[in-house]
Amino acid sequence: MNSERSFFQMPLINIGLHFDGIGALPKAKLVPKVARKLLLEAHKFTGKEAFEDGIVDAVAPPAEIFNAAMQYAKKWQSKSKADVYGVLRGELVGEALVKLKGVSYVHSKLISRRPKVKLEILPAIYMKNIFRTVSPLPSETICLNDTA
């Protein structure tokens, strides 16, 4: 995570949005105090705060972020060969993953409480501009797949 310009926030309480399973991952991965701060207070964590509270695994200055990401990827590359990492990670956060996989439009329509806000899809060009101003990426960008 960019140590100077990034932030992490889940402002669901501010906009009255809820869907079943939204608290599963914070509950599974974070200490209760941080999970409450994230979900119930909609706290806007800086990169440093997110790292200190265990929300993200690493922070780096913008000039070093690509190299930091590559080092992090290389650290885990050797452990992923037999998929043992994925199995162990699934055991750690398995309950949360099951709940998150159950979240879908149809599932939501059948059993979830109705949200108190109407979301609108923004045009792709608008979203692209938002992401460009919030998080400029280097010309070579690597996406780390952390679904295991």
Mean pLDDT by 10 residues, the chain (148 residues): 88 82 83 92 93 91 90 80 71 69 58 60 54 47 46
Separation of alpha carbons 134 and 131, rounded Å: 5
Q: What is the CATH classification number for the domain harbouring 88?
A: 3.90.226.10
Domain assignment present for 126: yes
Q: Give 14's contacts (C-beta < 8 A, 6+ positions apart).
A: 42
Decide if 1 is inside a domain: no
Residue 74: the pLDDT is 86
pLDDT for 38: 92
Residue 140 domain-assigned (yes or no)? no
- pLDDT at position 119, please? 59
Q: Give the tokens for residue 53.
A: 């509270």
Residue 146 lies in a domain: no
In a domain? residue 142: no
Q: Which helix (H) or strand (E) holds 7?
A: strand 7-8
Domain that holds residue 33: 7-134
pTM: 0.55
Number of domains the chain contains:
1
Read out DSSP for 58-93? Answer: --B-GGGHHHHHHHHHHHHHGGGTTSHHHHHHHHHH
